[in-house]
Structure 1
């Protein structure tokens, strides 16, 4: 075969592959149109706190490595010596009437909240609902007129490598935007039973907590909530609550102001070998204690569904309404037995179910 013809055949085989690679690597020539579209819905949240309350920085895992599931995240604490201290976070508007999504750790200890809009107006806000387990909160402002609002996106459709735009109020400098990609999905950072974060490499810093991450259509696909950092600043490892989870919680908070969570009154621990989850403590006055459960008992299944780690058990119980009867399959010293427990209402504190 002549050399020229061989070269043409080879090019015809390679060219489609090269074209696909170039398309995969293509990036926006500018994020400016997207920023103009979404900027009006991003707000700064200024918080006045009682003395001794921690400033609402994004929760920081003080390690340059990925956090170990089960270890609590820590938040930078900066205590003021005066009667009140000032701090800042972020949020985004979700209704024309002025309902705003932010993080619970931003507004949970607030004595006063002031929202700064994209046009510079500053408006006082009130908390209308919080959920500590998912670190979500909603606040409300009244400007006397309709406001632009964000559209929820579908976080389930987002893939590792997809572009995102993060908005917020880092270091209380005012609304800012950073771009990056989704680095991973379903991250557990040891923050609670509902860990299932999107990991982002867009820079997220103190003050970004509660701000939105947008897809390339301008839809909110995550609520920025935590970072991993050895210094407290961004090193390109941030976490966002997926929009599909956030939207459900926010809808419930708007309707009821809080999320009633199921509770057994036990402390739990993963087993190093064998199925199930071990009970390390039982509140004698809680639902499990009244049902006769004891420390050392092993929960094998809930409603005939196997339970193989502590987070799964906590999620299963916290997700059911208080007053629900749950069927447990138990192991006590090698003796199997079944019993029903009427789930109670979860107290505010974390760390048990």
Structure 2
């Protein structure tokens, strides 16, 4: 369920501009044998998961909170909204089944925005079947617009839109903005945290085209708004030449973005710059060269050869050192033996002379 929410969220355009905040709710209605409740939803503050609702048990489960948040919203009002969404799903189930000839999961994304000046921004309600949008309600500055693909009569549609507009104006948007402000106060440290991006510019061989691919990768940053620019000889590369640029989540709550450019062998110089809220100035990086897989496969063999050369070289040095030590020890032993032998011979001769002198004295 959480994976489907993330996928649905990433497929949407980023509705909240830089400096604003938004409250997101994705509700899911599904029938049949599934491990999920028939009706449930997940709520997020910007990109921080804050709540999960189980429609079968009608329970609200906070996510990621460090303090109590019971005073952020009126639980009775939230349960009323939850029941309205569930009733709407039940009414649309038959319509969706007839339209698409199948029963698939129904989803509704509700987003309200708080502008950086503290005023309410747009509020979007988007319905989807199997991940494909069927209709969308947009309420902004007290103007209400609708786009839809469901096969219903104009009379029924007008009644539905009239009721929805009154609910948005008097209940839905005021409740959403109040809840958004309350969570911004409670989750201030989470929302306002800033993590600097790690940026690299890499040139890698492209085996498919025979040329090269220059890629600028920024990762590990928060919040998610970032501006990556590729330069050729100091001038920005045209947007139509660049691929990628999608914002993707990391597992630790940060984000990553990659922009790439296909090039041939040329003498141009490439660089990349990143602008982010965590940076005081633009971050400029220069090109690194990635040899690619064919060269990478040679590296282990080279390392093994160098390791063996080091082992055998060390062994040869140790062997020569030991031979020199042995030869030196042998010479020292021979000199010592000759000296001892000479000393013994001299001592024997002196003893004989002393014995002769003693005999001559006794005979006298």
TM-score, normalised by the number of residues in structure 2:
0.23
- For the pair shown, the structure with the greater C-alpha radius of gyration is 2
Which structure features the higher share of helix residues?
Answer: 2
- Name the structure, 1 or 2, with higher relative contact order (CA <8 Å, separation 6+): 1
